[in-house]
Amino acid sequence: GATSGAMVSLKSAVTSGTDWGPALSPLASGAVVSSSLGGALLASAITLSLGNKLGRRQELLLASALYGGSAAMMAAAPNLALLLLGHVGYGLGIGFGMHAAPAYIAETVPPQVRGLFVSLKECLVVTGILMGYLIGNALVDQEGGWRLMYGAAIPMAGLLAAGMFSLPESPRWLTLSGKRSDEAAESLRLSMGSKYTEERVEEELQAMERNVVAREGEKERFTDLFTRSSYRKPLLVGASLMLFQQITGQPSVLYYAAPIFQEAGFSAASDATRVSVLLGAFKLLVTGVACLKVDSWGRRPLLLAGITGMVASLAILSGASDGVFGDVSSVSSVAALLLYVGCYQLSFGP
């Protein structure tokens, strides 16, 4: 969210506060935005070999360190090169955090509320995006405001680190790593709360240990994903959903929300960022609805309806860009983007 406002601030000769910001070409702007995605891609590759060795808790602590350090680097960047490097580091934090957080939730939260907590994670991610838009709107007209936009992530990273220091490691990871059973049992007690009796803790621990033994006995290889027919279809479906989730372009809309609204007719920086806040708030609202109703409405119907709505919204946005809607083209652009983001959250989001 903050990147959207930062792009507006950096490109302005009045508010950038640098001698290199106003000279940002479209290529340089694209490099700034996409460098964090490159960092996330690199982190995803690293977690293939190091994720299980680090542990969920340690991985989230590493993510918080990368968030805070990279945000500080971006906020203080004296040139474009260090701004890019800061974005790459921040992207590394995103990659580690998004890999470890769902696993940590699934392995530590009691089964009866596990689904709710996984859905809440998505709501909290969108809340963070909205906060970024709000900060961008508040600071976009200040000279050097983009530095404060990036710097706002530092205390958030500190809160994440403080929270993870006070939480136990995942009991399942402790069991998978061959840690002492009493350490895993203590983690289970802390994670599951006082309602879990000692007998229930022992049952859960034994189930985890049996799972580890079965897993070690199977000796599966990475190539089995492609050679075993029972794995190929789930792999194809899962990988395709992840691919289309990204190539829909929705992440780019979030990064470039304010510049897009400027092109749509909201030329004043504060107006563009204010509409971005509306976009973030609507995204959060739809995310909440999706998280509450996804199980009752069904994922497949939501996916099909959402994709249909995304196609329609892009057609409307294309027409608005060509002036088809005349004097209401700006309003049509906003409505189309709201529909696009809302349909994404209903389909790919939850």
d(CA 253, CA 4): 9
Domain boundaries, the chain: 1-167, 233-350
Compute the average pLDDT of residues 90-99.
89
d(CA 310, CA 304): 10
What is residue 62's predicted lDDT score, i.e. its pLDDT?
A: 92
Please determine, for residue 72, whether its predicted confidence score (pLDDT) is greater than 90: yes
The answer to whether the 1-167 and 233-350 domains have the same CATH topology is yes
What is residue 215's predicted lDDT score, i.e. its pLDDT?
A: 60
Fold (CATH) for 233-350: Growth Hormone; Chain: A; (1.20.1250)
Alpha helix ranges (H) inside 197-322: 198-218, 224-227, 229-247, 250-255, 257-263, 269-297, 299-321
Please determine, for residue 69, whether its predicted confidence score (pLDDT) is greater than 90: yes
d(CA 343, CA 22): 35
d(CA 229, CA 227): 6
Tokens of 107: 């392995």
Please determine, for residue 22, whether its predicted confidence score (pLDDT) is greater than 60: no
Nearest Cα residue to 113 out of 192, 41, 37: 192
**Residue whose entry in the numeric block shows the structure tokens 């061959």:** 178
For the stretch 181-208, pLDDT in tens is 667 777 777 766 666 666 776 777 777 7
Percent of the chain exceeding pLDDT 90 equals 8
How many residues belong to the chain?
A: 350
d(CA 297, CA 289): 11
Burial class (CB within 10 angstroms; exposed 0-12, middle 13-18, buried 19+) of 114 = middle
What is residue 73's predicted lDDT score, i.e. its pLDDT?
A: 92
What is residue 270's predicted lDDT score, i.e. its pLDDT?
A: 72
Indicate the CATH number for domain 1-167.
Answer: 1.20.1250.20
Q: What is the largest CA-CA distance in the chain?
A: 70
- Residues 322, 326, 328, 331, Cα dihedral to 10°: 0
pLDDT band at residue 88 using 50, 70 and 90 as cut-offs: very high
Buried b (16+ CB within 10 A) or exposed e, 207-243: ebeeeeeeeeeeeeeeeeeeeeeeeeeeeeeeeeeee
298 sits in the region (left: phi over 0; alpha: psi -120 to 50; else beta) called left
Buried b (16+ CB within 10 A) or exposed e, 54-85: bbbbbbbbbbbbbbbbbbbbbbebeebeebbb
Nearest-10 crossing angle of helices 111-139, 269-297: 170
For the stretch 309-350, pLDDT in tens is 888 888 888 887 777 777 777 788 888 888 888 888 888 776
